[in-house]
Structure 1
């Protein structure tokens, strides 16, 4: 048996939720895949809007903030499982959070392994936040799974803001996506890039815009499907009873935002409440 599954309390209440946590609403890409795998699972989505963006923060700031918020959320909602649906938070804080919480936790890591199997040219681009692309965790993934490949990294924090704006019904500046594409293609060997890892859960929300900036000449890959499969596996055999619409918990002052709620309803989230 998978050692991670032995940590579960087998007598999980059917209404006990899965908690998805992100700095903002990029984790909705994970929620969409999770709903395909576990359509009846009760889910609470938690967004740290008061702390976004995480990318410019120090590792110590991110680790302390994520651990503190997840501790409060676990105490309040008693989730059966927590998913840190944020690459930056996962690469920095996952180990710490697992040390302090008894709840099983699934993290999010850049999809370098499947990208290495997919590329035909051997050149892979990686778009992420500044904090994610500099992590030793990414170095280790590259060393383990992308030997003999060229992995080009580019920090594209503007894409986080663009995704959040699009979710609220706004139209991001196309130049944002052009800069992201040029940030990879402008590096030595970048013209051969045929596969791009979206190493931030926000980025698939603007994948269509990115595809246009890359002139539809690259394949994109992210970890949402794999994360959803992992959650489904770890909750295998458990009962689910969603008694109401899924809802979002947010830090900050956007719980009354009509444009935001309109965007969230597309993901089955019926209300927003403050933490």
Structure 2
């Protein structure tokens, strides 16, 4: 079903519900500039953060199976915390290529925090997952973990990449969801547990109004992809990446400028 790992043209498949996976693609491009890329966004079901676990567990493996059948990638990256925390094991069981997931960067956040109060900002679906609790127990047992889910922040990031200016109140409300919890006044690290959120990190920093570290998993994912493909052959020159959306209307066509800054072509309908 998959392309040979010895084929230079076998791409890296990057998958997200929307445009958030660009925050993962950027670090991957930095480490592997010659890698062919296929970027896939499931706009027909976006946002994932408001879906049930059963919906995501059924949809994501089936869709990724279809993408792998069509594009024959050498590796797949689920650049979505919600999909990874719910469906990663299902996807790995269904595919015969390496699959790299995206999970909240609680371990590096715990190493960075001085106050021992850490915020986890994600979608509603991600922050309620037992996986987050396990990460906190394994890597930040001595810290207080504050969680907040925001679907509006996902939509704000999408709007920004369409060239729009989101309402500043969206970012203020997202940060207040953490800072107004008990202990939030001394929180010093926020884990951005949705790949959309690094795309609006400047707006989040402005909204919080004080020094705070924001951390995400993009660079760690890129290092993992580079390691898993370390002995493989790439094309001699970089090429424009392919983009496919499961829904393509006028709103999605407005992403072309943002996609081009990441070395991607215009979106096509899957």
- Normalising by the smaller structure, the TM-score range is over 0.9
**Matched-pair contact (CA < 8 Å) for 1:255–1:273:** no
> Per-residue CA shift, 1:82-124, capped at 9, x if unaligned?
0000000000000001111111100000000000000111110
Maintained 8 Å contact 1:111/1:199: yes
Matched, 1:265 2:260: yes
Distance 1:249 1:10, change over 3 A: closer
What corresponds to 2:15 in structure 1?
Answer: 21
Is the contact between residue 62 and residue 89 of structure 1 (CA under 8 Å) also seen in structure 2?
yes
Aligned positions of 1:105-120 closer than 5 A: 105-120=99-114
Over residues 184-218 of structure 1, what are the superposed CA-to-partner deviations in whole Å (9 max), with x where a residue is unaligned? 01101110111000000000000000000111421
Whether the 8 Å contact between 2:24 and 2:218 is mirrored in structure 1 is yes
Structure 2 residue 95 is matched with structure 1 residue 75:
no
Alpha carbons of structure 1 residues 37 and 229: separation in structure 2 relative to 1, 3 Å: same
Map 1:56-205 → 2, pairs under 5 A: 56-205=50-199
Query: Structure 2: which 5+ residue stretches go unaligned?
Result: none
- Say yes or no: does 1:222 pair with 2:216: yes
One of 203, 206, 214 as aligned partner of 2:200: 206
**Mapped contact 1:15–1:243 kept (Cα < 8 A):** no
TM-score, structure 2 as length reference: 0.96
1:233 maps onto 2:227 in alignment? yes
Q: Structure 1 residues 167 and 9 mapped into 2: Cα distance closer, same or farther (>3 Å)?
A: closer
Q: Distance between the aligned counterparts of 2:150 and 2:201, measured in 1?
A: 13
After TM superposition, the runs of 4+ consecutive aligned structure 1 residues lying more than 4 A away are 8-11, 255-258
Note if 1:52 corresponds to 2:46. Answer: yes
Q: Which runs of 5+ in 1 are unaligned?
A: 1-7
Matched residue pairs, number? 268
What is residue 3 of structure 1 aligned with on the other side? none
What are the residue-to-residue correspondences of 1:3-22 with 2, within 5 Å?
A: 11-22=5-16
> Displacement of 1:259 after TM fit?
2.4
> Using the alignment, how far apart are the partners of 2:231 and 2:178 within structure 1?
44
CA pair 59-225 structure 1, distance change in 2 beyond 3 A:
same
Aligned-partner Cα distance in 2 for 1:131–1:177: 19
Three-state SS of the structure 2 residue aligned to 1:12 is: coil
For the 8 Å contact 1:255–1:274, the answer to whether it is kept is no
RMSD: 1.5
